[in-house]
Structure 1
């Protein structure tokens, strides 16, 4: 470690709606839910990440939990700034008498506006960044799963995050055509929540809906390797008394059907707008699924049946974006063409 390395710190940040991941010195230093708990009166940060998530939907009137990002973009500037700053401190791991200057590469949804880009940049600068670079999420995901984005070959990446689903056809270090839909993990949670209310008269929270998605979430009503029914607790809407029911994966597949159809339609739209030569490449290479949504059981098979194309899921789809962002940070000059400053 050089003398100046002690005063500077390079960070690759996947600032997601559901989770924030920070990579520094080639290692993932932070992997936490994108949530912060604040004291309502003083505005002081009580907890962030996992600790704040444990408090979510369980707080009294003096504490509020905030998810600063909505649909892939910053919705609460003040909370986002505190969250980024807190997570950077977590990534550092050292007690210092000064704040090191940070060079940050942050991934952003490909469909965001100039105002939303400015919000990301300003939050990062207020959190201590001296240099801020942004990279579109689908490109970061492609690099993270080992696709050579510089070659004249088309690759299709579908990144299903917490707030948005990013679909892009990439070639020659750029996005040739893309689609961004605000149907992703958070919408899946809401679908499950609504289904439980309608079908079982059971009121559950956001965290319980997410638990159902992890344990028995599925995109197809018939799976070869079917998970066992999952027991969920909530409040009976008729009696007001807590009750327990068992949820099957087939029920969850039914609840998520409409939202998954929207993602399928967006993929078909992106395929329709792709130049014919790139379509030929996609036919050979298939579609690459990344993001937390790629872990949904049977989703790859369902998209493959719809598009008649092979669908690939990498070993670690959740970390693909942050690994790609880290690769960009390591070779900034090489990836100059894809950086947004």
Structure 2
């Protein structure tokens, strides 16, 4: 029986597992809930996410990855193991070859931590790949050509921006401003503007349902529940997409400025390619309404979101394994 090749997108917000020949088989939040008293893991993934902010004292729901980097090593290792087994089943006799992606700005030490955790989770070989390159492959770009492509991958914890040519990144930067920061900005805004305290899950709901960073054609609204800080009682407020635009102004502009600074460092020939082909947005954060328009307005370059922005990195990571084993990059 041949071994399985797996690509893992080890994200701060969610983990996606790609199995060769099957595509993305698993997409779950990277959250682990464990019991403080016994130190046993209670739940992993979606089940654990539902517990965030709703647990009794002895159970805590943690996200073992913070800003794309392993914050809690043992928990991460168990989590990877769990997802790998869930993805390939327990039948597999040979250990799988696993490629994992990391943000482009990580240090050698952080890379080693990911590598060690993956080996400990039962990998035969581990390949570490940089996020923007994986995102580019997953977005269907032929990265082996001598032609510049700009990728902006906005995840949960980090945004990776890179200009890629000939299979490697020429200029890249990784900033720790991404989807989680959008949520935090909304929490802060609600507190300041409406005296309403909301949890991170509620903030994420607002972001997904009505969040925007550019004026929309028609204003959307939704009811938000939280606790009124003045009275201390639960309260419901109607929030509009215009307000989210105000709340999300700062983090989104910081991402656009990072794109700007990468463009400034790009060699002129490649910059011409980028201006010609546009900027490609991937990652869950790129689903925020109005991001393309904001990018275009600030840089003057056409921006477009990849077809399946959430799964780009996982697919690219999986296909990268094939690249390593000598197969040419072909569409499945």
TM-score range relative to shorter protein: over 0.9
The TM-score normalised by the length of structure 2 is 0.95
Would you say 1:167 and 2:161 are equivalent positions? yes
8 A contact 1:215–1:227 mirrored in 2: no
8 A contact 2:219–2:242 mirrored in 1: no
Once the two structures are TM-superposed, the CA of residue 334 in structure 1 deviates from its matched residue by: 4.5
Q: Which residue of 1 aligns with 2:9?
A: 14
1:284 to 247, 256, 276: 276
1:310 to 293, 302, 312: 302
Whole-Å separation in 2 of the counterparts to 1:240 and 1:204? 12
Would you say 1:135 and 2:129 are equivalent positions? yes
Q: Which residue of 2 aligns with 1:176?
A: 170
Whole-Å separation in 1 of the counterparts to 2:239 and 2:263? 35
8 A contact 1:328–1:335 mirrored in 2: no
8 A contact 2:5–2:318 mirrored in 1: no
Deviations 1:187-245 (A, max 9, x none): 1110000101111111110100001000011011x212x35201111111111110101
> May I ask how many residue pairs the two structures share in their alignment?
327
8 A contact 1:160–1:184 mirrored in 2: yes
8 A contact 2:32–2:61 mirrored in 1: yes
Please state whether the residue corresponding to 2:227 is helix, strand or coil: strand
8 A contact 1:21–1:322 mirrored in 2: yes
Please state whether the residue corresponding to 2:173 is helix, strand or coil: strand
8 A contact 2:210–2:221 mirrored in 1: yes
Would you say 1:262 and 2:254 are equivalent positions? yes
Whole-Å separation in 1 of the counterparts to 2:67 and 2:83? 20
Once the two structures are TM-superposed, the CA of residue 333 in structure 1 deviates from its matched residue by: 3.9
Q: Return closer, same or farther for 1:198/1:335 CA change in 2, 3 Å cut-off.
A: farther
Moved over 4 A (4+): none
Would you say 1:23 and 2:18 are equivalent positions? yes
Whole-Å separation in 1 of the counterparts to 2:270 and 2:295? 19
CA RMSD of aligned residues (A): 1.4
Whole-Å separation in 2 of the counterparts to 1:334 and 1:268? 36
Q: Please list every run of 5 or more consecutive structure 1 residues that lacks an aligned counterpart in the other structure.
A: 337-341
Q: Which residue of 1 aligns with 2:234?
A: 242
The TM-score normalised by the length of structure 1 is 0.93
8 A contact 1:160–1:185 mirrored in 2: yes
Q: Please list every run of 5 or more consecutive structure 2 residues that lacks an aligned counterpart in the other structure.
A: none
Q: Return closer, same or farther for 1:62/1:140 CA change in 2, 3 Å cut-off.
A: same
Q: Which residue of 1 aligns with 2:216?
A: 223
Q: Return closer, same or farther for 1:66/1:100 CA change in 2, 3 Å cut-off.
A: farther
Q: Which residue of 2 aligns with 1:43?
A: 39
Q: Which residue of 1 aligns with 2:108?
A: 114
Q: Which residue of 2 aligns with 1:339?
A: none
Once the two structures are TM-superposed, the CA of residue 154 in structure 1 deviates from its matched residue by: 0.5
8 A contact 1:17–1:163 mirrored in 2: yes
Please state whether the residue corresponding to 1:129 is helix, strand or coil: coil
Deviations 1:289-327 (A, max 9, x none): 000111000100110010001111122111111111111
Please state whether the residue corresponding to 1:318 is helix, strand or coil: coil
